[in-house]
Amino acid sequence: MNAKRKDFVATVMINLIVAAVVGILVFLLTYILVAGLPHVSWTFLTGTTDAFSGAGGIGVQLFNSFYLLVLTMLISIPISLGAGIYLAEYAKDNWRTSLIRSAIEVLSSLPSVVVGLFGFLLFVVKFKIGFSVISGAIALTFFNLPLLTRNIEESLSAVSSSQREAGLSLGLSKWKTEIGIILPVALPGIVTGVVLSAGRVFGEAAALIYTAGQSAPVTNFGDWNPMNADSPLNPFRPAETLAVHIWKINTEGLATNAAALSAAASAVLIIAVLLFNLSARLLGNYLYRRVTASK
Amino acid sequence: MLKQYSFEKTAVQTFDDSVSLALKTDNLQVFYGANHAMHDANLEFPKNQITALIGASGSGKSTYLRSLNRMNDGIATVTGKIWYHGVDINEPDVNIYEIRRHIGMVFQRPNPFAKSIRENIVYALKANGIKGKDELASRVEKSLKGAALWDEVKDNLEKSALSLSGGQQQRLCIARSIAMEPDVLLLDEPCSALDSISTVKVEETLLELQKKYSIIIVTHNMQQASRVSSQCAFFHLGHVMEYTPTATMFSNPQIPVTQDYIAGSFG
């Protein structure tokens, strides 16, 4: 074989491999959407589930998924922002820093089901919080922190060090330089990371089965006082999410139309995650143009 | 093979009391770990003049310059004294943020913030408690005029600084520094990333600025040193070898190493 022919064969192979990857994604998406979308209706999206059979709508689960996501992000973003800034800007290059980095790596490699069981034993049982939104949010935070911290650290480190010198040479403190000059430049990357991790959290089931629970008690959507027991915002109520719901109707659902229900719920979940990915890009680009004043 | 020159024979001028000084260093030494990068630099910088620091790469001139406003803090160990208005600003308990407001710096590569042109200038001012709208607007105008950039950008102050050309960015960085109204301006090879037209503009700006500021400029370019500076110091392998008026340096260098460097027959 001459060089030209070899190159031709290699190019064809590489194209085929890429086509296979894209093909799998397209096939999966089409399959899930075709199987699920016909069963999605307004009553399905907003209705309540029959606690015994699992039949009925997914309104509460859908709300729970979003609420849990918001709570998780409220807890994990400030912590990982602090940790990321520390690692990128303040940590000295010594054994302590490499210990912290390895700790973060270990945390990110923990299986989510183990994190879930840990959350169950600690929050649900030991602290007697019970199956609740807050237990789930803390468990998801454990699982979310390492990736988010890494993402923030990398986004900050990618900003040119000449920007830091510029800030310092104007008499700005290190902290002020960090917050006012470096962070805005790194923001688009951070936002992209946050939204992508939101997609992962949204689809997570294993860590939530034992923490947020598998029941979605009917809540009163007219009562938004988080102190009230049946308010949707009450963080101490059990909250089955959409992903957990799909797992549940497929394993122990007694509804006659369980297959259709789970297909429909899967389609909704997939669409939500796709929307997260899309908005990550749009928001990242928009923010970049905003902070750099380039239109 | 680099020729060996004696570090014993130097020709460093000092000024008598009639000349007021902007900055002065006594026995300034810089160490990067075990690497002794700067030996005993004793230099006096007269007020409202441009002093050029010249020398080959690795001669320590940038290292020396960065020590003057404590930008080497946390990077290198700097010993010796740096006298500024009768205070040794190399003391550990000196407020380095305050020092940097009085001794501004412009870097080799233009490094405007990823913000609008106006925000580049007012950001540090606001952080230092200057809040009045009129005050900020007049500082923006004054500093941009000082850096000879006003006419080019006055209609586009909200545009991103990153959309400016390299020469404009560098003049914006100068404007950003002088907006702080410093005493001393340190420039670290400010034209090395610029084309010749932008270089001329920056040099004209510097000649104008020396009426109000004392300027110390590191440059690789000997023509530039002879065009803009009135005093000139020659650095070689971490030693200050010669410090004389620029005219003397280029017409009648005192010691062999400077003679060879100026003649281009160095090493």
Taking 3-state DSSP, the helix, strand and coil percentages for chain A, each rounded to the nearest 5, stand at 75, 0, 25
Mean pLDDT of A149-168: 92
Range of the domain at A23: 1-39
pLDDT at A151 over 90: yes
Same domain, yes or no: A276 and A187: yes
We report the CATH number of the domain holding residue A264 as: 1.10.3720.10
Same domain, yes or no: A223 and A87: yes
Type and span of the H or E element at B251: helix B246-251
Q: What is the pTM of this model?
A: 0.82
Does any domain span residue B163?
Answer: yes
Residues from chain A that touch B180, judged by Cβ atoms under 8 A, are 170-171
Among A168, A169, A181, A295, pick the best mutation site for testing chain B contact (most B Cβ within 10 A): A169
Mean pLDDT, chain A, rounded, equals: 86
Domains held by chain B: number: 1
Same domain, yes or no: A15 and A80: no
State the count of interchain CB pairs (< 8 A) between A and B: 72
- pLDDT at position B267: 58
Same domain, yes or no: A35 and A46: no
Q: How far apart are CA A13 and CA B239, in angstroms?
A: 61
How close is the nearest chain B Cα to the Cα of A166, in Å?
A: 7
List the single range of A95-109, A224-238, A245-259, B39-53 with lowest mean pLDDT: A224-238
| Six-digit token string for B241 | 């070898």
Domains held by chain A: number: 2
A163 touches chain B (CB under 8 A): yes
Same domain, yes or no: A179 and A197: yes
Is residue A174 within 8 A of residue A132, CB to CB? The reply is no
Which value does ipTM take for this structure?
Answer: 0.86
Q: Kindly report, residue by residue over A226-255, the tens digit of the pLDDT.
A: 777 677 777 777 888 888 888 888 887 777
CB contact under 8 A, A294 and B128: no
Residues from chain B that touch A175, judged by Cβ atoms under 8 A, are none
- pLDDT at position A290: 76
| Mean pLDDT comparison of A82-86, A114-118, A128-132, B129-133, highest-scoring range | A82-86
Same domain, yes or no: A119 and A18: no
Same domain, yes or no: A235 and A269: yes
Same domain, yes or no: A8 and A30: yes
Best CA proximity match to B21, nearest among B41, B43, B54, B38:
B43
Range of the domain at B120: 14-263
CB contact under 8 A, B176 and A170: yes
Same domain, yes or no: A22 and A161: no
How close is the nearest chain B Cα to the Cα of A151, in Å?
A: 21
Does any domain span residue B129?
Answer: yes
Amino acid at B209: L
- pLDDT at position A295: 52
Does any domain span residue B6?
Answer: no
Using CB atoms and an 8 Å cut-off, which of residues 94-153 of chain B contact chain A?
97-101, 104-105, 107, 109, 111-116, 119, 123-124, 127-128
CB contact under 8 A, B97 and A292: no
- pLDDT at position A51: 67
Does any domain span residue B1?
Answer: no
Same domain, yes or no: A19 and A145: no
Same domain, yes or no: A31 and A67: no
Does any domain span residue B2?
Answer: no
Same domain, yes or no: A221 and A201: yes
We report the CATH number of the domain holding residue B256 as: 3.40.50.300
